[in-house]
Each structure stands twice: as C-alpha cells, then as structure tokens.
Amino acid sequence: MCGIIGYIGDADAAGVLLEGLKRLEYRGYDSAGMAVLGRGGLDVRRRVGVLRHLEDEVRRAPLAGTAGIGHTRWATHGQPSEENAHPHRSGDVVVVHNGIIENYLDLKRRLQGEGFAFASETDAEVIAHLLARAMRDGRSLPQAFQAVVGELQGSYAIAGLCEREPDVLVAARSGCPLVAGHGGEASFLASDVTPLLAHTRRVQFLEDGDVAVVTRRGVTVTDADGRPVDRDTVAVDWTTETAEKGGYPHFMLKEIHEQPQAILDTLRGRTVVDDAGRVSFPDVTITPDEFRAAGQIWIVACGTSWHAGLVGKYLFEELLHKPVHVDIGSEFRYRKSMVRKGDIFLALSQSGETADTLDAAREARRLGARVLSVVNVVGSTMARESDGVLYTRCGLEISVASTKAFTGQLVALHLLALHIGRVHGILKERAIREWLDQLRQLPGHVEDVIKRDGELLAVAKRFYQKNNFLYLGRWINYPIALEGALKLKEISYIHAEGYAAGEMKHGPIALVDEDVPVVVLAPQDRLYRKTVSNLMEVKTRKAPVIAFTSEGELDLEDVADCVFRIPDAVPPLLAPVPLTVALQLLAYHIGVLRGIDVDRPRNLAKSVTVE
C-alpha cells in the first residue's frame, strides 16, 4: 500500500504534511518521511516505524518551508529501513511513490550503467533518478516528469518536487489512488481524501494515466502526452472516518472490494517470461535443486491462513502429483514431528507474526527443512527468519476478519505450484503460460461477483436471524466451506460449521431441519453431480438451501432456495477465489444486519502473537 501526500501554499508545510500523514497511517507504518522545500533548499527527513518517530524528529529539529511531499510506507521492495523509506532523492529532486514499478530492475541497471548510485533496495528510487536525468537537458520539472512517466510500467501514484522549481509539485497516477484539492491559496495531493478535509472539501479524483501539475493557484491535469484533461471538481461531504474507509461503511467491505487489485498486485512482477518463452519466478529463492531434493512438502498456518493451506494441498496434489501435509500451527508444534532434512516447509501467514506458525517454522528449520513463507507483511518476523519469502501484495488489512489476504494467499500458492511444477519438469512451459493467463483473468471474475453484491444482500436479509448454518463443499471447495463458516462465525456470532459434503451423512445431517440454512458450494467441476446429490439430501430434510454454482449449471434453480452463480469461465482449480469473495460478502451482510461491529468482532485479534 503506502500513503502519499503533497502540499504547496503559504502555511508551514511540515505541519500540514504531518497532519495529513496521520490520516494516511492506516496505509502503512513501516516508515514515514517527508521533504520540505524552503529558503535553504530541500530538507528530507525519514524515520523507520510508526509516524510518531518522524513527528518526534520534526519536533526536535523543525523543517522550514511552504511546499513539500510526504509518505507513509507499507514495504514491498526492501525491508523497512531508513534507506528504503521515502522520499527518495536524486540531486535536487525528491519523489514519493505508492505502488509497484514492475520494470524497475531494467531501469535500475540502465541508470547504474550511466553512473547513478542507488541508496536503497526500493523500486521507487528509480523514479527519482529518472527525473533528475530527464531534467539535465534543461527541461522543466513538468516536462521531465511527463517523459519519466512514459518509462514506467506497473502501478503508481507519485508526487515529486525539485529545488530549482520551488513553485510547483508534479504528480501522476496509474493503478493507485490519488486525489488533488485546492482551497484558498494552497493546493494538496493525497492517496485518499481524508488529509484534504481539514483544508478543502472541493477535490479532484485523478484517474489512471493522469499527470498533474500542482501550484498554489490550482491543479492542472493532463494525459501522459501533455494534452489537457478535464477532471470534475467534486464537493465531498464525508466525515474523516468515512473518508478513511474510502467511503465504505467498514474496512472489511473496503478490503473485500480491494481484492481484484490485491490479486493483480500479487501476480504483478512475479513472473519473468524470457525470450524463449520460459517462465521463471525470481522471488522464490529456494533453488530448483532444493525443490527437487525435497522429500516432503509441509504447509502450516492458523485460522484463515490454514484454510488457504488446505486449498494448497488440493492444488499441489492435483498439479504436482505430490503428497502434501497440512497442519495447524498449534497442533504441529506439539506432535511428534515427521519433518526430515531437506523437506520444503511452507509457513502461511498474513501478519507473519502468528506465534504458533512462527514456532512451527522454527522447529521445521531446526529439523533441517527449507522454510518458505508466504506472508503479507514485509519485514515481519516470519519473512526475516525464512529461507525464502513469497509476498502476497495485498496491502494493509485492517479488518480483523481476513479477506483479501486469503485470496492473495491462494494466488501465491498457485504461483508456487507452477514454479515447483516447472522445476520438477511436471508442468510444461505452455501449460504454465496458459495457467498464468487464467490467473490474470481472476480479478475480472472477482469484480463480477462484487458487482452482484445485491443478490447476496437479498440472501442475507432472508436468513440473518437464523442461529445455525451449515456450509458444504467437496474437493478443493471443502476448505472454502470451512472458510465461509469461519467468516460467518467471526463477524455474526452465528454458529456455523463447514463440512466436506460427502461426510455430512456421517453425523451433521442429524442437525438439519427447516431452521438450518445450508450453504452448498457446487461450481462446475468433476464432482458437481455428487455435490448436487448431497444438496438433495439436505433439501429432503427441509433445510433451506443456498447454492453457489456456475453460470452454466441451471438444474439447481428448482431445488435451491437461493442460487448465486460465478462466471462459467472460471476453471475448477480457481473457483475457490470467486466463491470465497461471495461468501465473504454474505457473511458481511449478515453481520451488519445483526448489528455487529464487523471490523472489530468480540474476543478476536488481528494478529495473535501469543501461544
């Protein structure tokens, strides 16, 4: 994630930037920094950790000036450290960036070849050097900036400043949010509207491809070629709290809606296709030989992440024809461990701090396994202690109930399965490329589910007063039944159980009556008919049935009480992703209808750092 801010006016810039960064701190707290332009030139301050550290620094030695840019970081490239903190500087130019520059390695090599020295491991630093280089031939800051934007691939919101041109800020957006505002004799930039509300309620939401030149007199927006673009000025009447949630009533709903982007970011820049069409995964640092030598694969996690691990088992066994052990962190720790030297041990965790998973990974390492963690929080303990890390790039997850981190984990596990399949020679290049194409279509399928949220709200309204739910799924959707039930439990306090649909007749069917809604996951796959038989078994016992199926399957219409469809184009191994999103929305609506504070459910914590 990351938050960026910019100010140019007559007031003390550092004060405005700090106040603004406080509103943006939810976007990342790995480090914070600012650059202020005053009579003495640029003054850049950066501090690792929460914003308070930067605030203390500014109080200790105030910065003087009336123009500046600021940043709060959620690390993606490079550990949280002062060198990796923004703003990044090159000569008399400074920039802040939110997003991922996919071609940064190419750009970095070229710039290094020309003599530019890099001070950080970030992708963002290339932007500062490119801008400094583009200004060498006498181009103005806006002209140079426009040229630089043309060289960038990936996602970004950028703000920049140059000592030589103190009366202008430049900014651009592609795939990351950016808002501009003007009020009195001052103009503002920010990742969301919250920092602007104290100064102006009249804002412009920039769109992808927009480049902005910001002065004390106002904001001029152009496209990447410098042609003027008309962006409406909108009057915002949000409160600060509504604005932090991006206009959504809860962080959970915001994070559910962020999934298409989170999936895209998790996929982006991960795969390299060389000239011969070979695909490789540079982030996975465990060597092909180590993968080939591994006797067993282990996956250990807790809570929602454990459900992702269970999906991983089906996926790996299906794609790699390899047995996989999946365990809950707190169980693994105290069992007689069967981990052997050279095994591959995957630790899945959103936070990278869950005590039970962390300890399991340490134990596996002690026994000689190669530990690869799949984590969302960069620089977390698990990431630091692992032999390799595969980051899900889902951005900060605030709501206690995990949503986007889970779907991000599923996507990361697909990438890993493709990688292992390649090094084992099980998956051919062509199959991998086709699979990657399918993965790239996932954000669109998720978008499709989100657009039909109204249907899920209608289902929620029908059943939210029930006290027990059953969730049934088979094969790779069995863990999704577990996850759907967990989500409902967590945020509605309704008793819900997830079951393997075929196992229901061995016990849970005794619970079924007209008062127990049964959620059945029956997308188009080789077990569809069998799942429908299980659905009929509960229907016969009068249970209201809520079926989740694919567009082409029409025979559930007459038997199920409610039917929600995911797109037909979703292949069976990817169905867990859109199905999960639909179940998240269902749980969300039920929780809200029951009056629960869904972002902060009772007794739960976002990150459980105790045993």
Residue from 2, 162, 302, 394 carrying the catalytic annotation:
2
Q: Please state the closest distance from residue 418 (CB atom) to ligand G6P, in A.
A: 22
Omega of the bond leading into 87 within 30 degrees of 0 (cis): yes
Indicate the length of the chain as a whole number.
611
Residues that bind ligand G6P (CB under 6 A): 302-305, 349-351, 354, 357, 400-402, 604, 606-608
Classified as helix, coil or strand, 310 is helix
Token pair belonging to 83? 């060198």
Q: 3-class secondary structure for 522-538?
A: ECCCCCHHHHHHHHHHH
Q: How many whole angstroms separate alpha carbon 511 and alpha carbon 488? A: 18
Query: Is there a contact between 471 and 499 (Cβ–Cβ < 8 Å)?
Result: yes
Cα torsion 75, 414, 177, 198: sign = negative
Q: Where are the alpha helices (DSSP H) in 424-521?
A: 429-451, 453-463, 478-492
What residues does 563 pair with on adjacent strands?
547
Query: Is there a contact between 75 and 60 (Cβ–Cβ < 8 Å)?
Result: no
Q: Who's near 113: CB < 8 A, 6+ residues apart?
A: none
Q: Please state the closest distance from residue 487 (CB atom) to ligand G6P, in A.
A: 9
Q: How many whole angstroms separate alpha carbon 415 and alpha carbon 404? A: 17
Residue from 22, 466, 530, 606 carrying the catalytic annotation:
606
> Cα dist. 491→55, 175, 251, 495, 586 in Å?
36, 31, 13, 11, 11
> Cα dist. 157→171, 247, 464 in Å?
7, 20, 40
Q: Among 107, 192, 182, 191, which residue's Cα sits nearest to residue 156?
A: 191
In the bound state with ligand G6P, the residue whose beta carbon lies nearer, of 200 and 354, is: 354
Angle CA 385–348–78, to nearest 5: 50
Query: Is there a contact between 486 and 584 (Cβ–Cβ < 8 Å)?
Result: no
Q: How many whole angstroms separate alpha carbon 543 and alpha carbon 560? A: 10
Q: Who's near 326: CB < 8 A, 6+ residues apart?
A: 298, 299, 300, 306, 309, 310, 312, 313
Q: How many whole angstroms separate alpha carbon 601 and alpha carbon 589? A: 14
Query: Is there a contact between 163 and 92 (Cβ–Cβ < 8 Å)?
Result: yes
Element (H, E) at 174: strand 169-174
Q: Is 313 a catalytic residue?
A: no
Token pair belonging to 592? 């809200």
Q: Where are the alpha helices (DSSP H) in 258-302?
A: 259-267, 288-293
In the bound state with ligand G6P, the residue whose beta carbon lies nearer, of 151 and 359, is: 359
Q: Is 606 a catalytic residue?
A: yes
What residues does 528 pair with on adjacent strands?
none
In the bound state with ligand G6P, the residue whose beta carbon lies nearer, of 424 and 600, is: 600
DSSP state of 181: E
Q: Catalytic amino acids?
A: 2, 606
